[in-house]
Structure 1
Amino acid sequence: MLVLHNEKKYTFVRMLILLDIDGVMVPTTIWKPTEILSDGFPNFSSKATNSLQTIINRTGASILLTTSHKSKFNKYQWEEIFKTRGIVANIDVLENNEDNLNRKEEILRWFTKATIAESFVILDDDKSLNGLPGHIKDKAIVTSGTVGLTIDHANEAIDILKKEEFIIV
């Protein structure tokens, strides 16, 4: 907890990036085959890698994987996959989707369980997120699946996360 001179108490808000991979970190194109690295997972685009690392560096945010690939690896394997691709981050995984919910429904379920001291941004190419309630949709950045995450998206994500960096207690 951080206490300032006027004795108001501020609590640092945990920052999270709810991250999809396909269409965000790995743009999907029919004209260029996806490069698979030795760990058996696709390489991330350099533009997306730089953009995501910029968000992490400027906010200290952790990653919560929402990707359909999330259950293929455990937390430590994911951290190694990201590290191999040049991204150093604390990574958690959204709970398994045993109910076969779409991405919008998965995020709504997560949101109902999230603690109030979490600021988050959603990075995904799933257009169903446009149907989220306004207070959650305002935190969603829907990328073009063929382009992926860009520095403009990164700057928007940083702005969203920084809006709730501190809360007064």
Structure 2
Amino acid sequence: MNKILILDIDGVLITNPSWKADRIHSDGYSEFNESCVENLNRLLTLAEFDIWLSSTRRTVKTLTEFNLIFKNRGIKKQIFGFLPEYTNCRNRKEEVLKFITEFKVSDFLIIDDDKSLNGLESGIKERLILTELTKGFNSEKLKEATERIKNCS
């Protein structure tokens, strides 16, 4: 079974400050930070991942539309699925926990900038790569993710 990559977009692949409008790609969707995309592609060569999108942006596009957006930005792997929209979850931490429990996920990595994830229990938090909004999945976070993959295998 493949590892699960629970992936956010804003603050991971899109690194614009929240007060600034997104740069728009020729396909009409937000531009991704190219070095963050390169780092994601490097990570995807280290293990077989199924990408599950956790971004709130998952609520406004279909899986097919997002896979085209990822392809247009040079991401080498398609998105496997979206985290379900759980109506009773108040934050990303609760969504991730419910997903892990419901789908019985045991081999995973989370890449997100959502600070609520700091509240995860230690066994899950050790699989979290917490990025910063304007830095995203930079080379420092790629190194951290590489170490996590080695240590959690």
Same fold (TM over 0.5): yes
Native 8 Å contact 2:39 2:137 kept in 1 = yes
Q: How does 1:10-159 map to 2 (within 5 A)?
A: 13-29=1-17, 33-91=21-79, 92-115=81-104, 118-159=106-147
| Higher-Rg member (1/2) | 1
Q: CA deviation at 1:100?
A: 4.7
Q: CA deviation at 1:89?
A: 1.2
CA distance in 1 between counterparts of 2:152 and 2:78 reads 20
The one-character-per-residue Cα deviations of 1:65-117 (angstroms, maximum 9, x if unpaired) are 0000112222222111100000021311111233352000001101112335x
Provide the secondary structure at the position in 2 that maps to 1:63. Answer: strand
Native 8 Å contact 1:59 1:158 kept in 2 = no
**What is the TM-score of this pair, normalised by structure 1?**
0.81
CA distance in 2 between counterparts of 1:105 and 1:99 reads 9
Number of residue pairs matched?
152
Moved over 4 A (4+): 30-33
Q: CA deviation at 1:159?
A: 2.8
CA distance in 2 between counterparts of 1:21 and 1:151 reads 16
- One-letter amino acid of the counterpart of residue 70, structure 2: F
**What is the TM-score of this pair, normalised by structure 2?**
0.88
Native 8 Å contact 1:24 1:148 kept in 2 = yes
- One-letter amino acid of the counterpart of residue 98, structure 1: T
Native 8 Å contact 1:15 1:161 kept in 2 = no
Query: Please, which runs of 5 or more residues in structure 1 have no aligned partner?
Result: 1-12
Query: Please, which runs of 5 or more residues in structure 2 have no aligned partner?
Result: none
Native 8 Å contact 2:5 2:52 kept in 1 = yes
Q: CA deviation at 1:142?
A: 0.8
CA distance in 2 between counterparts of 1:146 and 1:155 reads 18
Shift of the 30–122 alpha-carbon distance from structure 1 to 2, 3 Å rule, reads closer
Provide the secondary structure at the position in 2 that maps to 1:49. Answer: helix
